[in-house]
Amino acid sequence: TTALLGASILVAVLAYVTYTLLGSYLHRWFEMKPIPQLEGTHIFVGNSFQFRASAGDFFGQMVEYTQQFYDEPLLKIWLGPVPFVVLFHAETVETVLNNPIHMEKSYSYTFLHPWLGTGLLTRSVHSGSPLPPGPKWRQRRKMLTPTFHFSILADFLEVMNEQADILVQKLQKQEGKGPFNCFSHVTLCALDIICETAMGKRIYAQSNSDSEYVQSVYKMSDIISSRQRKPWLWPDFIYQLFGEGREHDRTLKILHAFTYKVIHERAEHMPDKESDSDSDQAPRRRRAFLDMLLKTADDDGNRMSYQAIQEEVDTFMFRGHDTTAASMNWALHLLGSNPEAHNKVQRELQEVFGASDRHATTDDLRKLKYLECVIKEALRLFPSVPFFARSLGEDCRINGFKVPKGANAVVITYALHRDPRYFPEPEEFRPERFLPENSVGRPPYAYIPFSAGLRNCIGQRFALMEEKVVLSSILRNFNIEACQRYEELRPMGELILRPEKGIWIKLEQRNSPTSSK
């Protein structure tokens, strides 16, 4: 009788769960029926089997859908049982990003949790609990914001200049040798910069291009992006049995071991407040993001735990080098393809630096107005994060269509930035679009390379500073010629927007190369 009773309870529970989940799913399916959708959308499987397998083909497919549905305010896609509304117009994007109730990241971000934990990028805003006693995300954001103060960023400028010098020396070896792929050269420079500024550790990635950490970052990005597109691999036990679960875990160990070791080494050598090496005898210790995290406390005086620090360091290590590296590479291609813009940048550099080979200062960077327009236009055409997603916190109406609470909204930045209403001839590279007089009247949500609203990118000033330093160093030393046509680039929209086969350029030495410092 006990066994029979147990079996009956189990059957009842399973029946209840199945009925509840199925009922909820069917209710949402019919509730969202009026929203424009792809042909061939089937109940239960949605559009999962329509998507192309490779990252490049899948991204191209998503871009095609936004073009096909341009005249509609939004588009609905089902990934298995999970609904996504695709947004690519400024007015619909603003509806979601401007409302604090929709600040939760979408379900697809849970696959980043094993790597990045619940750091600032992935952390739940409401932490699964009622708002009082206060969301953990807001508290963490408030704690971290001072670490990106302008005076602290100015401290990082020295590191950026030094690593840009090393990159220039490496590129000098390629000068005059014909086309080469500059993607990894720039990426390793960005990694050296983020390691030293974020963790206070030199890893000499530019000297050791086979860095295990670099390879692991790429591998993990590919693994996660692939899983996000395949709902049948979402359950962990299936992923371990039939997916890349073991490869995922091996790669994760390498990534976490690296940052864990640095954090604990840095913590052991943290100077006391009194003996903070400011004396004439002691060499000045460079500030690092990690040092500030180790000292950071909340309003109640509680320090961040080592686990919390590791989450933020892992997040900034990934988001702080991969995004800027991709953006700088796209900018090099675009300048190499557009001689007029290329020459304008070099004329501006001549005005600011003359024939000198000195390092860039914060004052110099402020004067590089046209170079900033180039960077912004490169981010318009090739946003480092080509799409991102939120979970809707309440029922809402988007241009007259009801979208229920719990649905996911995906903002396709790549398509949003090509809206001809705000960017005429959107495929053309025109840095002048971002001169102040040409930006008047443009809606704030028409251009969001660093996201927007309360969850915008905390490191955007760091990124712009780094890009100006590195690109100005390259362009003070070389003339660039692109060796790929636009259609050969094949952007791959994974976690970061990368060209499928890299960025191929040719370099010609200018008259006054920057000497080694």
Q: Phi first, then psi: what are they for 397, rounded to 5°?
A: -110, 125
The three state secondary structure string of 324-336 is: HHHHHHHHHHHHH
The residue type found at 505 is I
- Asked whether 89 and 417 are in contact (CB, 8 A), the reply is no
Q: Is residue 395 part of a domain?
A: yes
Identify the residue whose tokens are 């379900």: 107
- Asked whether 375 and 332 are in contact (CB, 8 A), the reply is no
Angle 484-208-178 from CA coordinates, rounded to 5°: 30
Closest CA to 80 of 59, 40, 49: 49
- Asked whether 387 and 62 are in contact (CB, 8 A), the reply is yes
Q: Is residue 15 part of a domain?
A: no
Identify the residue whose tokens are 């809606």: 443
Q: Is residue 21 part of a domain?
A: no
d(CA 409, CA 87): 7
Work out the widest C-alpha separation in the chain, in whole angstroms: 93
SS3 of 247, please? helix
Q: How many domains does the chain have?
A: 1
Based on the number of CB atoms within 10 Å of its own CB, is 294 exposed (0-12), middle (13-18) or buried (19 or more)? middle
Distances (CA, A) of 371 to 189, 337, 354: 19, 15, 16
Q: Is residue 441 part of a domain?
A: yes
Q: Which residues contact 447 (CB under 8 A, 6 or more apart)?
A: 376, 380, 416, 417, 422
Q: Is residue 210 part of a domain?
A: yes
d(CA 47, CA 215): 32
C-alpha of 381 from chain center: 15
Distances (CA, A) of 104 to 99, 135, 323, 345, 364: 11, 11, 22, 40, 39
Identify the residue whose tokens are 């160093």: 473
**CATH value at residue 282:** 1.10.630.10
Parent domain of 317: 32-509
d(CA 379, CA 423): 13
Q: What is the pLDDT along the chain (517 residues), one digit of tens a residue?
A: 655 555 555 555 445 445 455 667 788 888 889 999 888 887 777 787 888 878 788 889 999 999 999 999 999 998 878 889 999 999 999 999 998 888 777 878 888 888 888 655 554 554 443 333 345 666 666 666 666 655 667 778 999 999 999 999 999 999 888 999 999 999 999 989 988 888 888 888 898 777 788 788 888 988 998 888 888 888 899 999 888 999 999 999 999 998 888 888 888 777 655 444 444 444 556 777 788 778 775 556 667 788 888 888 888 887 778 899 999 999 999 999 999 999 999 999 999 999 899 999 999 999 999 999 999 999 999 999 998 888 898 999 998 899 998 889 999 999 999 999 999 999 999 999 999 999 999 999 999 998 887 777 777 888 999 999 999 999 999 999 999 998 899 898 878 899 989 999 999 998 754 443 4
Closest CA to 342 of 184, 484, 503, 479: 479
Beta sheet of 504-509, edge-to-edge order:
180-181, 504-509, 478-482
What is the predicted pLDDT for the residue at 140?
62
Q: Which residues of 107-139 are buried (b: 16+ CB within 10 A; e: fewer)?
A: bbbebbeebbbbbbbbbbbbeeeeeeeebbbbb
Q: Which tokens in the block code for residue 12?
A: 């009842």
Q: Is residue 26 part of a domain?
A: no
d(CA 258, CA 502): 26
Identify the residue whose tokens are 């005076």: 151
Q: Is residue 407 part of a domain?
A: yes
Q: Which residues contact 128 (CB under 8 A, 6 or more apart)?
A: none
**Number of other CB atoms surrounding residue 328 within 10 Å:** 28
Q: Is residue 347 part of a domain?
A: yes
Mind giving me the DSSP string for 185-244? Answer: HHHHHHHHHHIIIIIS----TTT-TT-HHHHHHHHHHHHHHHHHT-GGG-SHHHHHHHSS
Q: Phi first, then psi: what are they for 131, rounded to 5°?
A: -55, -55
Closest CA to 187 of 327, 288, 59, 315: 327
